[in-house]
Chain A
Amino acid sequence: MNKNRSAKQADRVATGVLYGIAAFFVLLLASITIYILYKGVLAASPDLLSFSGDGVGVQLFNTIYLVFLSLLITVPIGMFTGIYMAEYAGKGSLIAVIRTCIETLSSLPSIIVGLFGFLVFIQMTHSKWNLLAGALSLAILNIPLIARTTEDAMRSIPRSYYDGSIALGSTRWQTVVHVLLKASIPQIMTGVILAAGRGFGEAAVLIYTSGMSSDINFNNWNPTSITSPLNPFRPADTLSVHIWAIKTEGIAANSQQIADLSAAMLIILVFAFSLGSRALGRHLQKNAGEI
């Protein structure tokens, strides 16, 4: 009886402590967010919000486009790798090798990935800085994350799902696609959101691969033209590269305001993306049977 009471007490204390910790971090994170947003609002002006001159509209567009391109590469590669690890690689040494490779890849400092990307995607192809090189380098950084989350997600699905599907005469691949993948969409979505977040916030990789400036013309939608916003072979600076450049080297009187505004926009962007992709995840899961 005594033991029972102390267990209940421990339960109450633990609950209290956990509430405290959650509250503390929410407060900390909220105060950082509010600090950034507040500074951004102070800095906001129609001039800075525009798509020309000092405005950050171009960077906003670049950020979205580059992260989109990068996810287009990262998600399939990462997901297929994750599926392989969870379902086909078995339990032997091969999976240990792959897992070690993945964790090693994910521990690379971003500047190293940037320099590697510069060497391979820029120097070896004799091209100039471009969006695609940035997206590919970002993919190197993010593939491990998606692969790991996919693998964890698929492994955590109760074995009965798998057995049930096989018993109904499905092949392994059918089971993977129709049953396991569907059930693991929310977790994979977390990985995608984290990967996109990293893309939104990354500067060191992109400085070397997609460059630090853009020269685009929003009247030109021919994707083969170098000044077209859609051309993946044009140089582009994203919001965080922009922030980095003006925070560190800016000399204009309003450079701190531009940086503050960009940071606030980035937060809003990440938040919108996070909400959007969760909704997409739910939608996909509902309709996953048709994939």
Chain B
Amino acid sequence: MKKLALVILALVLLVGTLSACGSSNASGGQTTNNSPAATTPAGSAPTAGGSASQAAPAPAANVSGSISASGSSALYPLVNIAANQFKAANPNVSMTIAAGGSGTGLNNVLAGTVDIGNSDVYAAEKLDAGDAAKLTDHKVCLIGVAVIVNADVAATVKTLTSDQLKAIFNGTTNNWKQVGGPDEQITIVNRPTSSGTRALFTKWALGGQSSVEGDTSLQTDDSNALLTTVGNTKGTIGYLALSYLNVASANIATVQIDGVDPTYENIYNDKYQVWGYEHMYTNGKPNAQTQAFLDYMMTPTMLTQAGTLGYGDPSKLNADAAKSR
């Protein structure tokens, strides 16, 4: 019986901690957020303590506190890499980066559960006007979207006109031989209707026309599954953010639109139209560490690195291209 009493006692303690967490966590979260003092004793580990005592000369470096971001899955890999580097320069910062989709990012930043909400689209395209106005936009980079096809089509179909592309996606063109390819059924591979990549593609490649649904159109939740689906399935056509096309794949190939290759060079020169800004939204004015991180995202070093990962540099857009959005 003594042991039973112990078990019950342990249980009560557990429930006690659980309920305590509910109330204390609110304040706990905020302390780490605002006051560096709260994190300093925590950083009693040699590395953290050491760097805290020697103040770095650069003003941007050596901020502390916590930064959290969630949202766009297309932007997630870049933010994650940037966060790791930022963290290396600022060991007292605690970073939390998550994907989840642009809607999640906007939801979370509005609700205050994250400091930064990442989105592929303007907040006004998802939120109603009142909520969208509360958020501050930071356009950190560009993302281009390319049309890709399965390798068996790629040999003969190297370019499609905008009109051919529209005809394929509205179902009037349903065999590759109609656009100079092999005699094969065209299978469309879409992203979900609410996806940011799809929104960009629909708006700038299809002129707002929605894609046909049915027998010949599949859909995948995420970009890597789309890459695999197009790579494994003959006669498929899909579209992907350029960041997913870094690693060359023998099974797929990109297709020109109106004779223009999907490259950032062409985007900067206003020749290739299927692209958009990647946004990092904050709820009003960001706090010091968040601002430092946003600044870091837009440093030349980071943007060069973003370039190698398949993201574009907004500062390189020529006047016409910049005006188009």
Mark A residues whose CB is within 8 Å of B. 72-73, 76, 122-123, 125-130, 132, 136, 177, 207-208, 211-213, 215, 217, 219-220, 222, 224-228, 232-233, 235, 245, 247-253, 290-291
Whether a CB of chain A sits under 8 angstroms from the CB of B61 is no
- Closest A residue, CB atoms, query B30: A126
- Chain B residues positioned under 8 Å from A245 (CB to CB): 76, 99
CB contacts under 8 Å to A, within B284-322, are: 309-310
Given A127-B25, A226-B66, A251-B244, list of 17 further CB < 8 A pairs?
A73-B14, A125-B21, A126-B29, A127-B26, A128-B66, A128-B113, A129-B68, A129-B96, A177-B4, A212-B99, A212-B100, A226-B32, A233-B25, A233-B28, A248-B223, A252-B77, A253-B246
Give Cα A226 to B35, complex, Å: 13
Contact B224 A249, beta carbon cutoff 8 Å: yes
Count class of interface residues, chain B: 35 or more
- Chain A residues positioned under 8 Å from B221 (CB to CB): 248
Whether a CB of chain A sits under 8 angstroms from the CB of B53 is no
Interface string of B55-90 (1 = CB under 8 A from A): 000000000001010100110110010010001000
Contact A219 B222, beta carbon cutoff 8 Å: no
Q: Assuming A127-B25, A128-B113, A220-B44, is B224 touching A226 (CB within 8 A)?
A: no
Contact A225 B43, beta carbon cutoff 8 Å: yes
Distance in Å: Cβ of A205 to nearest Cβ of chain B: 13
Q: At the interface, is chain B mostly helix, strand, loop or mixed?
A: helix
Give Cα A212 to B70, complex, Å: 9
Q: Which of A217, A222, A291 has the most CB of B within 10 A?
A: A217
Distance in Å: Cβ of A166 to nearest Cβ of chain B: 18
Q: Which of B11, B28, B47, B100 has the most CB of A within 10 A?
A: B28
Contact B96 A128, beta carbon cutoff 8 Å: yes
Distance in Å: Cβ of A223 to nearest Cβ of chain B: 10
CB contacts under 8 Å to A, within B226-268, are: 243-244, 246-247
- Closest A residue, CB atoms, query B2: A290
Task: Sort A-B residue pairs by CB-CB distance and give the 6 closest, nearest first.
Answer: A225-B42, A248-B222, A212-B98, A127-B25, A219-B45, A126-B26
Distance in Å: Cβ of B222 to nearest Cβ of chain A: 4
Q: List 29 A-B contacts (CB under 8 A).
A: A72-B14, A73-B14, A76-B7, A126-B29, A127-B28, A128-B66, A128-B68, A128-B113, A128-B114, A129-B98, A132-B18, A177-B4, A211-B98, A213-B98, A215-B87, A215-B94, A222-B44, A225-B44, A226-B42, A226-B94, A227-B43, A245-B76, A245-B99, A248-B221, A248-B225, A249-B74, A251-B247, A253-B247, A290-B3
Contact B29 A127, beta carbon cutoff 8 Å: yes
- Closest B residue, CB atoms, query A235: B96
Distance in Å: Cβ of B100 to nearest Cβ of chain A: 6
Give Cα A73 to B18, complex, Å: 10
- Chain A residues positioned under 8 Å from B23 (CB to CB): 125
- Chain A residues positioned under 8 Å from B80 (CB to CB): 213
Distance in Å: Cβ of A160 to nearest Cβ of chain B: 24
- Chain B residues positioned under 8 Å from A235 (CB to CB): 68, 96
Give Cα A250 to B244, complex, Å: 8
Interface string of B134-157 (1 = CB under 8 A from A): 000000000000000000000000
Distance in Å: Cβ of A43 to nearest Cβ of chain B: 15
- Chain B residues positioned under 8 Å from A217 (CB to CB): 45, 47-48
Contact A249 B76, beta carbon cutoff 8 Å: yes
Give Cα A262 to B11, complex, Å: 33
- Closest B residue, CB atoms, query A217: B45
- Closest B residue, CB atoms, query A291: B3
- Chain B residues positioned under 8 Å from A252 (CB to CB): 77
Give Cα A126 to B113, complex, Å: 7
Distance in Å: Cβ of B245 to nearest Cβ of chain A: 9
- Chain A residues positioned under 8 Å from B68 (CB to CB): 128-129, 235
Distance in Å: Cβ of B282 to nearest Cβ of chain A: 15
Contact A250 B87, beta carbon cutoff 8 Å: no
Whether a CB of chain A sits under 8 angstroms from the CB of B22 is yes
Contact A220 B42, beta carbon cutoff 8 Å: yes
- Chain B residues positioned under 8 Å from A290 (CB to CB): 3
